[in-house]
């Protein structure tokens, strides 16, 4: 048993070291010519446009459910007028970024792991290296950059539709006008709410792209390896999202105290 625990610790630290070296290689390659602009734009389309319907629907439902679940409790305390402020701060600060990031981790990270993993298994990456093409720059750098750039936009869309879903519930149950609802929303939000929440979405996107491409790029031979790469990409990316979110909250609280 002691050997098993020791082996798990060794595997964990080895994985962490390999992932860190992979990230360092990304930063080295990202600022070197040639820049794969066309592939970057194609990956931005794949990450952003194809995730759009799922993110939009999820954000809208989050706003509906959060308002429907919270409204009866606020009514008991006579504080239903605080609903727009509460929903806006909850969605913009925490719920929106984390839920959208987890959705993208499930869809994008698994897709990257399976796509690049299948290319590794079928030796397409080896063929690119032999032909003189830099597969890391073409396959990895473009995809990590695309997820880093597109996730904040998806989060903004999800937050917007979440607030609109909340407005629909408030308009239906409380006869609250559009102007009144969103005036209270923007009165409640401050730069301290928006800026940290937006900055951490870039980190979420980077983590999703990094883990997905790493899992695929280091995929072992065989079709079973592709499945393990896709599965591990989702699990590790989701875990990193929670860790990054926790660290961002701690750092933000430290700035508030200062």
Q: Which helix (H) or strand (E) holds 47?
A: helix 37-48
Q: Are 216 and 233 within 8 A, CB to CB?
A: yes
Q: Tokens for 237?
A: 């990316």
pLDDT-derived band of residue 182, with 50, 70 and 90 as boundaries? confident
Tens-digit pLDDT profile for residues 197-249: 889 999 999 999 999 999 888 887 767 778 888 888 888 999 999 999 999 88
Tens-digit pLDDT profile for residues 86-122: 888 889 888 889 999 999 888 888 888 888 888 888 8
Centre a 10 Å sphere on the Cβ of residue 49 and count the other Cβ atoms it contains. 10
Q: Tokens for 100?
A: 């959208």
- What pLDDT, on a 0 to 100 scale, did the predictor assign at position 257? 65
**CA separation for the pair 227, 145 (Å, rounded):** 24
Query: pTM, whole model, 2 decimals?
Result: 0.90
Burial of 179 (0-12, 13-18, 19+ CB in 10 A): exposed
- What pLDDT, on a 0 to 100 scale, did the predictor assign at position 201? 93
**CA separation for the pair 212, 207 (Å, rounded):** 8
- What pLDDT, on a 0 to 100 scale, did the predictor assign at position 71? 84
Tell me, rounded to whole angstroms, the distance of Cα 49 from its chain centroid.
15
Average pLDDT over residues 144-159: 92
Q: Tokens for 255?
A: 């700035």
Is the pLDDT score of 9 beyond 80? no
């Amino acid at each position: 048993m002691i050997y098993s625990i020791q082996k798990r610790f060794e595997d964990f630290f080895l994985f962490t070291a390999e992932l860190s070296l992979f990230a360092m290689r990304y930063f080295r390659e990202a600022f070197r010519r040639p820049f794969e602009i066309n592939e970057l734009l194609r990956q931005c389309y794949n990450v952003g446009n194809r995730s759009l319907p799922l993110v939009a629907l999820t954000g809208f439902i989050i706003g509906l459910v959060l308002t429907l679940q919270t409204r009866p409790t606020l009514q008991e305390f006579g504080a239903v007028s605080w609903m727009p402020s509460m929903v806006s701060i909850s969605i913009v600060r925490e719920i929106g970024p984390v839920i959208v990031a987890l959705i993208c981790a499930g869809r994008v990270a698994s897709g990257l792991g399976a796509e690049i993993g299948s290319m590794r298994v079928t030796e397409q990456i080896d063929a690119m290296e032999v032909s003189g093409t830099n597969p890391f720059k073409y396959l990895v750098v473009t995809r990590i950059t695309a997820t880093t750039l597109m996730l904040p936009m998806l989060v903004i869309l999800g937050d917007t539709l979440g607030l609109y879903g909340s407005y629909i519930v408030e308009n239906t149950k409380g006869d609250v006008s559009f102007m009144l609802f969103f005036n209270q929303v923007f009165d409640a939000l401050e730069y301290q709410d928006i800026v940290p929440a937006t900055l951490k979405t870039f980190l979420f996107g980077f983590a999703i792209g990094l883990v997905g491409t790493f899992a695929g790029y280091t995929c072992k031979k065989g079709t079973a390896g592709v499945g393990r790469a896709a599965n591990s990409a989702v699990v590790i990316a989701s875990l990193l999202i929670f860790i990054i979110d926790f660290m961002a909250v701690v750092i933000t609280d430290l700035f508030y105290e200062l």
